[in-house]
Structure formats: structure tokens, C-alpha cells
Structure 1
Amino acid sequence: MTTVSPNAATPLRRIDPSKWPSPHGYSHAVAGTGTFVFLGSQIATDNAGRVTTIGLVPQARQALRNVRTVLAEAGGAPEHIAQMTWYVLDIDHYRTRLPEIGVVYREIMGSHDPAMALVEVSGLVDPAAIVAISATAILPGGNPSSHPDSGPVP
């Protein structure tokens, strides 16, 4: 098993079994300690809550930007994401656009490869959305939220 130890900036370590092929664009597993942040599914909405882009790649770009925005509000960054789940309406279309999606992913999320799942669904809450992305992040210990109203929920 190959593991990469966490450092002070990110509490995560990547876990990939040594006799398995190396994954590209994801990790088999990620482990870590710290403050967990669970991001609800993000779609390609603008600041007014409207889906204004058409097409899988533009919607993936905006959904990833929204993941970054929500995570930053919690005091985190893309390298703190331990797991992502992508929900798409058409998995075959996703596969054909994967090279472009990979470029967009790297542009917005950097070179960090969390554990990932891809699921084809029959619909999303907003009928204009064709992709939704949820994530779980683990922030380094002692990393308080940047949002003044966040804290323990009563």
C-alpha cells in the first residue's frame, strides 16, 4: 500500500494499494484528521441562484467554482477535499468530455486528487442542471472557519 503522509498544510494522506494500477485524476482512498466539512451538492448556479450556463463542461466549471467558494467560506481549500461525488445526467456524455473536464478540474481545483465517485442520475433538483458535485473536506486541526457566524449548531 502506498500512503502519502499529511503535512501541516493538508491533513490528508492518499491511500492507493501498491499492486493496483495507479489511478489518474482520483485516489482510491484518502485518510486524515481535523475538522470535517460536508459540502452539499453544488450545481452551476450564479450568485442569484440561477443556472446560466449550458453544456456539461461549462456547468462543471461553475459547479467546481461553487465548491471552492463554499469550502473557502469554511476556511478550506481544494487540497483539503478528501472525497467528491459527481452526479451527471448522462455518464456516456461525461466520458466523451472527460479530457475537457480534466482540464477544467485542474484549472479550478489544482493537482489534488481526492477519492471520487461518479454517479448517473435521472434528474437533479434544478431542471437546468446537468451536473452536481458534493464533497467532504478535512481541514487541518485548529483551522477555524473564516465565517463569523459559523460555530457549533445548537
Structure 2
Amino acid sequence: MKTLLPEGWPRPSGYSNGIMAEGRMVFVAGQIGWIFDAQTGDMVFEAEDFLGQLRQTLENTLAVLTEAGAGPEHITRMTWYVTDREEYLANLSGMGAIWRELMGKNYPAMACVAVSGLMEPKARVEIETTAVLPHA
């Protein structure tokens, strides 16, 4: 994988302008911050706050990637959908700490879109992910 940074552009903070990769592609559907409750058989939110849901969303994303033999180092692109732009901006520091803990120093190409709502009403963030694994 190669990070793309046009000459003269400043290095972005927390993401890359572009990534070039070759290999087997993995597409992860939009993940949200819920977990499976084995006792009830339902998907439930343990956290209602933005940072708690973000942590679980990233953990869910990593769980799906693990099924493909991938990890955070293989992520090339993410699209984040957040329900509250101001809440997102107010939590940048906390998001950075969670990101470094779970994803390390991997900064894929990213977009973040503020939306009026998500399909699951309690969800505060949803993230779609694309990863590329080297050819076997």
C-alpha cells in the first residue's frame, strides 16, 4: 500500500488523501456501535454516547475484517456517517485516542458525512470500510 500525497500539499491529520493498493479487496458493510446479546438474541447498544458507540463500531469493523484475515493495516478507505456534526467535532481528542488504541498509525482515505439520522435510530455513527489484502 502507498499513501498518496500530492507535492506541496500538507499532510492531513488523521486520514490520507488517497491510498494506492493492489490485492484482494474486502468490503465491510456499514457498522454501528451495537453488540449481540446472547441472552435475548438481540443486537443492543451498551453505550449511548458518541465515543462509546465509536469504539464499538470500530471493534465491530475489526471483527468483520478478522474474518477475512485482515487487520487495521489493510484498511484503505472509510466513510463515516455521524448524526451530529457538533458532537463529532467536540470529541476529536477522544476519537484520536480510541483510533490509536484500536487502529494504530494507519490512516486510510476517509470521508465523514453528517446525516439527519441512521436506519437504527439509537446509532450515533456508522462506518463503511474497504480493505485490501496482499495477493496470497
What TM-score do the two structures reach when normalised by structure 1? Answer: 0.83
Task: Tell me the residue number matched to 1:65.
Answer: 59
> Is 1:25 the equivalent of 2:2?
no
> Is 1:109 the equivalent of 2:103?
yes
Cα deviation digits, residues 19-69 of structure 1 (max 9, x gap):
111111100000100000111110011123212211110100000000100
Task: Tell me the residue number matched to 1:45.
Answer: 34
> Is 1:125 the equivalent of 2:114?
no
| More strand as a share of residues | 2
Q: How many residues align?
A: 131
Q: Which runs of 5+ in 2 are unaligned?
A: 38-42
Letter in 2 for 1:124: L
- Larger relative contact order, structure 1 or 2 (CA cutoff 8 Å, min sep 6): 2
Task: Tell me the residue number matched to 1:146.
Answer: none
1:111, CA displacement in angstroms?
A: 0.7
1:17, CA displacement in angstroms?
A: 1.0
> Is 1:89 the equivalent of 2:83?
yes
Q: Which runs of 5+ in 1 are unaligned?
A: 1-11, 143-154
Whole-angstrom distance in 2 between the partners of 1:96 and 1:42: 22
What TM-score do the two structures reach when normalised by structure 2? Answer: 0.93
Letter in 2 for 1:45: W
1:83, CA displacement in angstroms?
A: 0.3
SS of 2:92's partner is helix
Superposed CA RMSD? 0.8
Please list every run of at least 4 consecutive aligned residues from structure 1 whose deviation after the TM superposition is greater than 6 angstroms: none
Letter in 2 for 1:28: N
Whole-angstrom distance in 1 between the partners of 2:113 and 2:121: 17
1:91, CA displacement in angstroms?
A: 1.1
Whole-angstrom distance in 1 between the partners of 2:130 and 2:106: 14
